[in-house]
Amino acid sequence: MILQISHLTISTIDFDNVIENLIKLGYKLKLIENNQKNLLIKKNLMTGFSAYHKLALLESNKNFNIEIVQYDEINMKAQTFLLPKFQNSLISSHEFLHNLENKDEKNYLENYENFEFTKIEISTQNIEKSKIFWKKLGFLQSKNDSILNFNSLINNKTYNIELIEKPSTTSFLNNHGISCIAFLTNSIISEKKSLDDDGYFTTDIELLDVGENRFAIFFCKNYSGEIVEFISLENK
Q: Measured in whole angstroms, how far is the alpha carbon of residue 140 from the centre of its chain? A: 19
At 89 the pLDDT is 60
**234 confidence band (pLDDT: 50, 70, 90):** very high
Q: Among 122, 125, 7, which Cα is nearest to 68's?
A: 7
Please give the share of the chain, as a percent, with pLDDT higher than 90: 67
Q: For strands 227-234 and 177-185, give the pairing.
A: parallel
* Domains (range + CATH), the chain: 2-234 (3.10.180.10)
**22 confidence band (pLDDT: 50, 70, 90):** very high
Q: In sequence order, which residues have a C-beta less than 8 Å from that of residue 78 and are 6 or more positions away?
A: 169, 170, 172, 175, 176
**223 confidence band (pLDDT: 50, 70, 90):** confident
Half-sphere exposure of 62 (CA within 13 A, CB side): 8
At 53 the pLDDT is 98
**92 confidence band (pLDDT: 50, 70, 90):** confident
Decide if pLDDT at 108 tops 60. Answer: no
| Helix or strand holding residue 229 (H, E) | strand 227-234
At 103 the pLDDT is 72
At 94 the pLDDT is 76
- Per DSSP, the residues of 26-89 read T-EEEEEEEEEEPPGGGGGG-SS--SEEEEEEEE-SSS--EEEEE-S--BSSPPPSEEEE-SST
Q: Share the mean pLDDT of the chain.
A: 90
Distance CA 42, CA 54 (A): 15
At 110 the pLDDT is 62
Distance (Å) of CA 38 to CA 61, 206, 235: 28, 11, 20
Q: What is the mean pLDDT of residues 172-189?
A: 96
At 52 the pLDDT is 97
Helix, strand counts (H, E) of the chain: 5, 14
The answer to whether residues 86 and 99 touch, using CB atoms and an 8 Å cutoff, is no
Among 50-64, 92-106, 137-151, 209-223, the least confident range: 92-106
**pTM (2 decimals)?**
0.94
At 66 the pLDDT is 97
